[in-house]
Amino acid sequence: MRNKSNKKVGWLCTYTPEEIIHAAGFTPVRLLPGSGAFTEGSEDLLPPNICPYPRRILSTLRSGILQNMEGVVVANSCNAMLHLYNVLRTAGDFFVYLLDVPRKLNDQAVDYFTGELIRLADYLGGRGQPVTAETLASSLSLYRERAKYLQKLTDLQCYDLLLSAFPSGYHELAVEASGLSPEIFTAKLKRLVEKYSSGCRTQQDNRSLILFAGGLISDSLSRMLDGRRELIVYPENCSGMRYLLKKTPFVNPDRPATAGELYRAISRACLEKPPCPRIFNTSTREKYFRNLLDTMPVKGVIYHDLIFCDLCHYDYLLLQDLLAGTGIPLLKVKTELGEEDSGQLQTRVEAFLEIVSQEEQ
């Protein structure tokens, strides 16, 4: 099935299943903070001591910048998102749906989330096209195809190939992937990978890697690390790898699955994606970080402790503990997702990279 609709449905949190939005006949588009000092128009709805991500999205939606937005699916991923849901309903002429996302990863959580996904599909189906086992399977196949190419491009050995098309690296790849219809984006990736498959190294890439961890980042923060081909910048955040490495369930064409089976598979895949700091199981995020540190040539870590994100604030303590005694330098940066402090920040980031490169010599 090809989704020709240009009716868009916005989403924010990477625990949101794009496949279901797509199967209901909409183009899922992630609402990201972008850049610029744009929180105007949100002051009367959200107070300034709430995470800037929802505040920025609220301004953007309210100002009508995003055209053809039929609605927004807000995942209940944190307090800030719930508050966004509360006020977004009063902010424009589009529907707003609250998707409850568990914080645990066990079978009960998968069950609970499966029920939530069925409710979401019913709701969206009523506004777009009914979601059936067939439409869902076909959307899943499309996303699986996209995941196949994303996997190729997220292989560290293909970093140069990635940069040839996405100069800002993984961040740019994730922004584009989440903003375009899977049909268009997969076609672009396919052309790139097939044409330049020789752009990948056959041997281990021994460039240093900077792990960019923590809260999602703005385009301007990402740009600070642009153009450094001597480094691999690995944004583990949700505007980077935690989105790009999300799995899509496999649909066996020889044995058509029931809708119930598909919802359950999507539920599991969403909850088992690379974990965000909101996840509850103490060891999940710890194991994930350990794995990144053990399997990649991490030479330095920059942690984005996004202002007013409690989840980041505690996640930072975890990473700090894990890095203690490893000799890997750690830099904490705090932003409001805008251009505000970019001058000073740039200086700190450069000084840090300097230290990293000196330690290597």
Partner 1 sequence: MSIKAQFNERLKNELGRKLLSSPVTYRLAREIFVRKGNFAFEAKKKMTAMALEQAAEAYQKKRPVAWTSAFFPTEMLYFFDLIPFAPEVAAGTSAALELSPRLIRHAESMGLSADSCSFHRCAAAGTDLDYFPHPDFLMASAHLCDGAPHLFQYMARRSRKPLYLLDVPAGDDDRALHYVADQLAEIASDLEKKRGIKLTDDRIAAVFEASNRARHFRIEVENLRTEVPAPLNGTEGLAYIYLTLLGQGHPETAAIYETLTGELKEVVKKNRVETVKMDHERYRLIWLHLRPYYSSDLISYLENELKMVIAAEEMNLVHWPPLDPEKPFISLARRVILHPGLGPIERRLKFIIKNYHRYRAHGVIHFSHWGCRQSVGSILFLKKELQKRNIPFLAVDGDCIDGTSFPWGQVLTRIDSFYEIMEELYA
- Where on the chain is the footprint of partner 1 (CB under 8 A)? 44-47, 49-51, 76, 78-80, 82-83, 85-87, 90, 98, 100, 102-104, 108-109, 111-112, 115, 277-278, 280-282, 305, 307-308, 310-318, 320-321, 332, 334
Q: Which two tokens stand for residue 275?
A: 């974990």
Q: Cβ 105 to ligand SF4, closest distance in Å?
A: 17
CA distances from 316 to 78, 213, 218, 301, 329 (A): 17, 9, 19, 11, 14
Q: Does 309 bind ligand SF4 (CB under 6 A)?
A: yes
Whether the CB-CB separation of 318 and 284 falls below 8 Å is answered with no
Residue 66: φ, ψ to 5°: -90, 115
Q: Does 53 bind ligand SF4 (CB under 6 A)?
A: yes
166, HSE (Cβ side, Cα atoms, 13 Å): 26
Q: Which residue(s) pair with 19 in the sheet?
A: none
| Residues 113, 270: Cα–Cα separation, whole Å | 9
140, interface contact from ligand SF4, partner 1, none, CB < 5-8 Å by kind: none
| Residues 344, 263: Cα–Cα separation, whole Å | 47
Q: Does 20 bind ligand SF4 (CB under 6 A)?
A: no
| Residues 159, 23: Cα–Cα separation, whole Å | 32
98, interface contact from ligand SF4, partner 1, none, CB < 5-8 Å by kind: partner 1
Q: Cβ 246 to partner 1, closest distance in Å?
A: 21
Query: Of 67-75, 198-206, 303-311, 340-348, which segment contacts ligand SF4 by CB under 6 A?
Result: 303-311
Q: Cβ 289 to partner 1, closest distance in Å?
A: 13
Q: Does 81 bind ligand SF4 (CB under 6 A)?
A: yes
Binding site for ligand SF4 (CB under 6 A): 51, 53-54, 77-78, 80-81, 215-216, 278, 306, 309, 311-312
